[in-house]
A and B are shown apart, each in its own frame.
Chain A
Amino acid sequence: MESQKAALTLLVAPVVGVVAVFCLAPLAVLFCYSFFHVEFVEIAKQPSIGNYVKVAESETYRWLIAKAVGTGLSVAAIAGVIGYPVAFFIAKRVVLLKSVFLTALLIPLYTGDLVRIFAWRVVLGAEGVLNSFLLWTGVISEPIQALLFSTTATLIVLTYNYLPFMVLGLWLAFESLDDRLLEAAADLGAGRWATIRRVILPRTTPGLLAGGLMVFILVIGDYLTPQLIGGSSGVTVISAVNDLFGTAFDWPLGSAIAWSLLATMVALIIAAGLLFSRTRLGRSIISGG
């Protein structure tokens, strides 16, 4: 036993080390930088919370962080609504071609970001597929400009980009949902909606939350899509940080914004987790399994 434990420690230690070095160390460096400030080309290493004061006082950065959170939540919600029936269908209705469906679902992930974005430009553009079709059918007489380079367009493409993560999370939840529970519900008098509300939803909520969390985080990190699809309103907090790091050489302020965003996200996730764990459903998932 002891030697097994030691062997396990030996095996795990490098992994923990790698995670620490490659995941946490850069964040720690950023955290240190966020307390410094820039004097022309030199980073002055006298610690102060000045950068955080700047972020807190700046309507722009506050708004950009709020916008990031809002976009993340919106896309996660939309992806949940779309992904739910899709995941149900794949897990419970498809028998023979399940892997084909799953592979098809993941195709967007095989292509690069830019390929996806430019493909959507072709679809949504003023002279794009959708507008051309609508013009041809006579539904509209002028191309709908707002299809591309608008908040709507950003939400559409972000949803498309990250829907697979939501569906995968939900698909796993649906796969592990015991069909006999559905039979039991029907046996006890539950119609379709009652079964969904009282059995399927509670049993798949962990998948919904896992998928939602992934989408939420990935959407906040995606600055390319809003930049290339969102038009003049496509700025994100990440691209602002990018500007500060790149062109302005203001690493400390960039770090402070990045950490403010990170702290906001973590605080939100923890708060949501705590709130959820106090609900009946949350308790049942934690204790009932």
Chain B
Amino acid sequence: MDIRLHRRNFLTLAGAATLGGLGLAGHTNHAKAAEDLVWLTWENLAKDDYIGPFLSQSGIGLTKNFIGTDDEQFAKLRAGGSSSVDLITPGLDKVELYVASNLLQPIDLARVPNAASLYDTFKNTPLGKKDGQTYGLPFYWGINPIVYRADLMSEEPDWSVFFTGEKYKGRLAMRDYALEGIMIAALYLGIPRERMFDMDDRELAEVKKALLAQKGLLRTYWNSISDLTNLFATGEVACAFSWVPPYYELLGRGLNMGMAKPKQGVIGWCDTLAIPAGVSDERLDATLKLVDYLLGADYGAKLAVGGPYALSTSLAREKLTEEQQEKIFVKDLSIMDSFVWKANPARYSDWVRLWNEVKAS
């Protein structure tokens, strides 16, 4: 089995993963010492001009393998791909699943100096950790706000617009995603954040009632961000729980867009850097160097402009203009107090079932 061949692209990686799962994994382990690092990540995080300086300075080689969804990344690793990957990029809320499946190793923060500059909220979050050890190191983050057509709405909306009142009936959209849909209902209902992912039957019943009311107000559920952008552009939808990109894209096209971050709380998301369990020795050293670079000011400044996304450390913040800071929500750091980080609910199957019940009603 020729390792280099398998690393060319994604498909062959998948093939290797499958074969690895069949018990050929041991074969790959000792053959890779002197080779490139392999980073399983999103395409927009590994652009050449973001990481080029680090690679030329350190002399480390890097192979990038891109993922389409978080679930895909998880499935791949579980199927045995962990042995041929040195760094992965799971969501903060998903790290728990990887840890439970024994796919990750704890990260020695002493060997990642830039981790000391993590914002407090990331330092203190219990997510990505187990028994006091960090498995998923917060990497970059953003928020999922309400985006709306300011020309079609007379006031800045908050979550209640999705649950009560007839004014915008038939002009609203919600993401077709159980986790966020139910979190928003919980935020609207005022369910305490610390209980949000451990709601009991009574609370879930309340949530369901609210979501049923919501369904009557919706024009549709949206499935992909390009779908939602299209809905805004064609005037089908005036206001939606959204991601940030449509806001800038439609502003750029001349539409009068608004973005609201409700006081009840904003859903924040964060992707982490995590190291598969099998990485060791000089490969681990090189990986930790890469991790440190990815949390540093140089990378952060580029991501802030190109993403635009904010790093989990404060290191790049000083290099940015106020406008750039505003764009990635780090100008006024108090926003972090209203964040609700996505987590993995204990009864996620019940959540999905509830969500399907609402949609099928």
Contact = CB atoms under 8 A, between A and B. Distances in A.
Chief secondary structure at chain B's binding surface: helix
Nearest to A59: B357
Interface residues of A, number: 39
Contacts of B360: 60, 63-64, 67, 235, 240
Contact of A232 (B177, B221, B355): B221
B352 A244 contact: yes
A253 B355 CA distance: 15
Contact of A41 (B100, B221, B349, B359): B100
Interface in A130-153: 145, 148-149
Interface string B171-197: 000001111000000000000000000
A171 to B, nearest CB: 35
A149 B216 CA distance: 12
A66 B357 CA distance: 14
Interface stretch (B228-236, B274-282, B328-336): B228-236
B230 A247 contact: no
B220 A149 contact: yes
A40 interface: yes
A125 B236 CA distance: 7
B153 to A, nearest CB: 16
A263 interface: no
A243 B356 contact: yes
Interface string B221-261: 10100010010001110000000000000000000000000
A59 B353 CA distance: 11
A61 B359 CA distance: 11
Contact of A240 (B215, B348, B356): B356
Contacts of A38: 349
A250 B223 contact: no
B170 A145 contact: yes
Which 9 pairs of residues, A with B, have the shortest CB-CB distance?
A235-B359, A248-B352, A231-B220, A232-B218, A60-B357, A127-B235, A240-B356, A149-B220, A60-B360
26 contacts: A40-B97, A40-B100, A60-B353, A63-B360, A121-B236, A122-B234, A126-B235, A148-B236, A149-B220, A149-B236, A227-B221, A231-B218, A231-B219, A231-B220, A235-B359, A235-B360, A240-B360, A243-B178, A243-B355, A243-B356, A247-B177, A248-B348, A248-B349, A248-B352, A250-B349, A253-B349
Given A64-B356, A240-B359, 6 more contacts: A122-B234, A227-B176, A228-B227, A234-B221, A243-B352, A243-B355
Interface of A: 38, 40-42, 58-61, 63-64, 67, 118, 121-122, 125-128, 145, 148-149, 227-228, 230-235, 239-240, 243-244, 246-250, 253
Interface of B: 69, 71, 97, 100-101, 170, 176-179, 215-216, 218-221, 223, 227, 230, 234-236, 348-349, 351-353, 355-357, 359-360
